[in-house]
């Protein structure tokens, strides 16, 4: 039951990375989608080895293998078509394009950080501590999501240095929390900490820590790009969306031409 719940959460996030990566031509999210598909395959294969080998498991594993292989092929085809959206938004200025790619990578890692925080904290609660302090776990996940949204919208897109200082202040909270959870579990529950359910928890927790460290390092490059033109690009996009409802169009008829506003 617990593995199935985590499998569903992972599938939702991986599917989101795939769709978002294609729509916004985000290479990191596209490769995360492929890597996540392979991870789901390994996850299903591990469950196949642990659980009883019912014929249904053979069918499910076969579909997951085909799904992972198809994702790799499709990702390669889609990746080869990338480039037009960035050119349309940014133009051909190399410095601006590089700054935008850093921004894209930062946003992708921020989304991945939310995913790893959610899965890592849930795995700590379900497999290691069995629901202890669940309110704190949920509060940490919710705070991470709010923190990510504020950082992206007000910190990076509006180039607000004060908000980025808040980003740096909150960044160590999740790694410290996970490390403390590991230490508490190993000291207070050594038998449970030695179970076969712990390795996946450690793997996801380690990935979460690495992702957070890389995210903080990358944020320094994002701040260095403040004032290089991305703010104007984001402002132009917001203005275009706000003014879209007021675009004038002409509607031709057989007897008259009427001028109206596109709603």
Same domain for 127 and 234, yes or no, is: yes
In this structure, the answer to whether residues 19 and 104 fall within a common structural domain is no
Domain edge (last residue) among 64, 82, 100: 82
| 252 lies in some domain | no
Are both 100 and 214 inside the same structural domain? Answer: yes
Q: Would you say residue 56 has pLDDT above 80?
A: no
Residues 6+ apart with CB under 8 A from 104: 24, 26, 27, 28
Does residue 165 sit in the same domain as residue 70? no
Same domain flag for 73 and 190: no
**Same domain? 77 vs 93:** no
Give the end of a domain, one of 58, 82, 106.
Answer: 82
- For the cut 90, the answer to whether the pLDDT of residue 76 exceeds it is no
Whether residue 108 sits in one domain with residue 64: no
Nearest-CA neighbor of 108 among 173, 170, 16? 16
The answer to the question of residue 245 being in a domain is no
Whether 43 and 87 have beta carbons less than 8 Å apart is answered as no
- Domain annotation covers residue 98: yes
Which residue did the predictor score with more confidence, 88 or 132? 88
Q: Is 73 in the same domain as 178?
A: no
Distances 18 to 7, 13, 178, 183, 194 between C-alpha atoms, Å? 16, 9, 28, 35, 35
How many independent structural domains does the chain possess?
Answer: 2
Do 134 and 15 belong together in one domain? no
Q: Specify the pLDDT at position 84.
A: 64
| In the chain, % of residues over pLDDT 70 | 74
Confirm whether 58 is domain-assigned: yes
User: What is the per-residue pLDDT for 217?
Assistant: 94
Tell me: do 97 and 206 sit in the same domain.
yes
Gap between the Cα atoms of 71 and 30, Å rounded: 10
Residue 171 sits in which domain range? 88-238
pLDDT digits 0-9 by tens, 158-176: 899 999 999 999 888 888 8
Q: Is 32 a member of any domain?
A: yes
* Residues 56 and 111 grouped into a single domain: no
Residue 261: the pLDDT is 36
Q: First-to-last CA distance in the chain?
A: 49
Last residue of a domain, one of 82, 97, 123: 82
Chain mean pLDDT for the chain: 76
The pTM for the full model equals: 0.73
Are 48 and 120 in the same domain? no
Q: What's the pLDDT tens digit per position in 18-40?
A: 888 888 778 888 888 888 888 77
């Amino acid at each position: 039951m617990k593995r199935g719940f985590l499998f569903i959460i992972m599938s939702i996030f991986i599917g989101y990375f795939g769709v978002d990566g294609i729509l916004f031509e985000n290479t990191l999210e596209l490769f995360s989608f492929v890597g996540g598909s392979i991870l789901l395959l390994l996850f299903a294969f591990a469950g196949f080895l642990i659980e009883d080998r019912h014929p249904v498991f053979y069918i499910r594993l076969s579909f997951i293998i085909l799904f992972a292989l198809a994702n790799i092929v499709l990702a390669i085809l889609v990746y080869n078509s990338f480039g037009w959206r960035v050119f349309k938004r940014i133009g051909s200025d190399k410095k601006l394009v590089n700054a935008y790619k850093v921004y894209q990578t930062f946003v992708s890692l921020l989304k991945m950080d939310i995913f790893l925080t959610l899965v890592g904290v849930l795995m700590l609660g379900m497999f290691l501590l069995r629901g202890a302090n669940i309110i704190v776990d949920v509060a940490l996940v919710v705070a991470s999501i709010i923190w990510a949204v504020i950082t992206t919208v007000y910190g990076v897109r509006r180039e607000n240095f004060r908000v980025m200082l808040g980003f740096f202040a909150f960044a160590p909270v999740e790694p410290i929390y996970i490390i403390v959870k590991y230490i508490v579990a190993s000291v207070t529950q050594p038998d449970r900490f030695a179970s076969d359910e712990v390795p996946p928890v450690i793997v996801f927790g380690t990935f979460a820590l690495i992702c957070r460290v890389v995210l903080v390092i990358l944020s320094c490059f994002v701040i260095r790009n403040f004032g290089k033109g991305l703010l104007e690009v984001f402002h132009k996009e917001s203005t275009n969306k706000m003014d879209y409802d007021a675009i004038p169009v002409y509607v031709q008829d057989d007897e008259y031409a009427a001028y109206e506003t596109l709603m």
